A and B are shown apart, each in its own frame.
Chain A
Amino acid sequence: MKTYNLEETYIHKFDPIETPLGLETKDLQVFYGDNHAMYNGSLQFPKNAITALIGASGSGKSTFLRSLNRMNDDIATVKGKILYQDVDINASEINVYEMRKHVGMVFQRPNPFAKSIFNNIAYPLRKAGMKSKSQLAERVEKSLVQAALWDEVKDDLNRSALALSGGQQQRLCIARALAMNPDVLLLDEPASALDPISTGKLEQALYDLQKHYTIIMVTHSMQQASRVSDYTAFFHMGHILEFDRTQRIFTRPHIQATEDYISGNFG
């Protein structure tokens, strides 16, 4: 396997006045016991844009993503700052459940509840205190429209979510995350279990969503990263080696390791 100088990095920095940020991490480090899994996680995520996190398995990208809404709290020690609207959401006093309403997450495998399509979205809303039927119906419809699923399910919202196809289930999970009105949406390989047609629909939905949300997405698909994202971060062995506009990364990356990875000449 080729070795790369992990000190050689190119991390694009934004002026937050010119480019408003949806989320920012400062020196995020993750430890699984003694295992130092993530080192220098300092990234700025522009608001209303899609950032793709790419890298080989074990490079730290999923660890990094899951840390962003505190999914690693029980299994790892996460040091450093995660700034959302100038608040460090990695601080111990933060109410994690409240924070997750702002920073939603969609997982690799679709995980709908064993409930109707309607209740998959309405259930968490009810739990959060929403009682009005009309409000619930409105929010369910809006979320399904945003996730580009409404037209396919609107005629039978009482159908079990488990009867939907994998691609539809994944968009339902996105709709469920959107129902809480988050600002930031985290996606962990959202299309890895989907066929190309479902993937296309999901990517189109993400592209439309980025107008209103800050989206951070882990993907193993180079094509997906290049097609969908505005910015790309390349992870290697727990280090972020490069971060820049996707069109720059996929045409003239600054770092040899990035070049090798995206062109398949890696390892």
Chain B
Amino acid sequence: MRGIFEDELKRLHGKFTEMGINVSEAIYRASKSFIDHDKALAQQVIEHDEEINEEEIKLEDEALMLIALQQPVAADFRQIIIVLKASSDLERIGDHAVGIARESIELKGEQRVPEIEDDIGEMTNNVRSMLEEVLDAYVKEDEVGAKQIAIANQQIDKAYANVREKTIEMMKQDSKVITGSASYLMVASYLERIGDHISNIAEWVVYNKTGHLAELTPDHHPEEN
């Protein structure tokens, strides 16, 4: 019966990776819709989130069925637990992409600040790279790579703090940019939260490999950076 269990598990991991790629695409499109003021693209991201949610439910359902029917232990058990936990993180990342898309829709031609939009673009690229790396570490069960991703998240925290500082400064100087800057703050905050979820997935990769539950970024306080 090992063969059957392993096949099922492989299929589950494949679906998880597929969901991860979809989520990564959602982040990209949401951020692009924000920077380009593309409401149609933002709407697509919002609608596509339903599919991501369904993917998570299917993954959970199959993982729960494997637990109930195959009653796995030790490494087999951990493999299924990480699918359950990490898919929940992916789903939350999808929700944050929707948050960014909603900000795009609510933007009403406010005064734009290219410098901050560049920062947001860079944050987007960085969280997407992190997500791709964590999916790679997940597939390869690469504990060392996963730990590095969690460290990389500190850069995302710093980038968020930087955007926050800049926007607050701008708002102080020019009240006309307040509404637009609030959106910048929200979007940067969503990206920062996405970084945290990616860190969580990295922690599950470590758990899978070692059996230890570890907080990889214990001093994580982005607002204090």
Q: Which residues of A contact B (CB under 8 A)?
A: 200, 203-204, 207, 223, 226-228, 246-247, 250-251
Scoring B3, B65, B68 by chain A CB atoms within 10 A of each residue's CB, the highest score goes to B68
Contact yes or no, B65 A247, CB < 8 A? yes
Q: Point out the residues of chain A lying under 8 angstroms from B4, CB to CB.
A: 204, 207
Contact yes or no, A250 B68, CB < 8 A? yes
Contact yes or no, B1 A203, CB < 8 A? yes
Contact yes or no, B1 A207, CB < 8 A? yes
A227→B72 CA distance, assembly (Å): 10
Say how far A190's CB is from chain B's closest CB, in angstroms: 14
A-facing residues in B166-220 (Cβ within 8 Å): none
- 12 CB-based A-B contacts, threshold 8 Å: A204-B1, A207-B1, A223-B71, A226-B71, A227-B69, A228-B1, A246-B69, A247-B65, A247-B68, A251-B64, A251-B65, A251-B68
Say how far B107's CB is from chain A's closest CB, in angstroms: 46
Q: Point out the residues of chain A lying under 8 angstroms from B70, CB to CB.
A: 226-227
Q: Which A residue sits closest to B71, measured CB to CB?
A: A223
Q: Which residues of B contact A (CB under 8 A)?
A: 1-4, 64-65, 68-71
Say how far B62's CB is from chain A's closest CB, in angstroms: 10
A251→B63 CA distance, assembly (Å): 12
Q: Point out the residues of chain B lying under 8 angstroms from A207, CB to CB.
A: 1, 4
Q: Point out the residues of chain A lying under 8 angstroms from B69, CB to CB.
A: 226-227, 246-247, 250
Q: Point out the residues of chain B lying under 8 angstroms from A203, CB to CB.
A: 1
Say how far A15's CB is from chain B's closest CB, in angstroms: 24
Q: Which A residue sits closest to B5, measured CB to CB?
A: A227
A226→B71 CA distance, assembly (Å): 8
Q: Which B residue sits closest to A252, measured CB to CB?
A: B68
A142→B1 CA distance, assembly (Å): 21
Q: Point out the residues of chain B lying under 8 angstroms from A200, CB to CB.
A: 1-2
A227→B4 CA distance, assembly (Å): 9
Q: Which A residue sits closest to B1, measured CB to CB?
A: A203
Q: Which B residue sits closest to A202, measured CB to CB?
A: B1
Contact yes or no, A227 B65, CB < 8 A? no
Q: Point out the residues of chain A lying under 8 angstroms from B2, CB to CB.
A: 200, 204
Q: Point out the residues of chain A lying under 8 angstroms from B68, CB to CB.
A: 226, 247, 250-251
A200→B71 CA distance, assembly (Å): 14
Q: Point out the residues of chain B lying under 8 angstroms from A228, CB to CB.
A: 1
Q: Which B residue sits closest to A199, measured CB to CB?
A: B1
A250→B68 CA distance, assembly (Å): 6
A190→B64 CA distance, assembly (Å): 28
A227→B71 CA distance, assembly (Å): 8
Q: Point out the residues of chain B lying under 8 angstroms from A250, CB to CB.
A: 68-69
**3 A-B pairs closest in CB distance:** A226-B69, A203-B1, A251-B68
Q: Point out the residues of chain A lying under 8 angstroms from B64, CB to CB.
A: 251
Say how far B63's CB is from chain A's closest CB, in angstroms: 12
Say how far B139's CB is from chain A's closest CB, in angstroms: 26
A246→B68 CA distance, assembly (Å): 10
Say how far B59's CB is from chain A's closest CB, in angstroms: 16
* Apart from A203-B1, A250-B68, A251-B64: 8 A-B pairs, beta carbons within 8 A: A200-B1, A207-B1, A223-B71, A226-B68, A227-B1, A246-B69, A247-B68, A251-B68
Say how far B181's CB is from chain A's closest CB, in angstroms: 50
A204→B3 CA distance, assembly (Å): 8
A250→B66 CA distance, assembly (Å): 11
Q: Which B residue sits closest to A206, measured CB to CB?
A: B1
Scoring A203, A207, A227, A246 by chain B CB atoms within 10 A of each residue's CB, the highest score goes to A227
Say how far B65's CB is from chain A's closest CB, in angstroms: 6
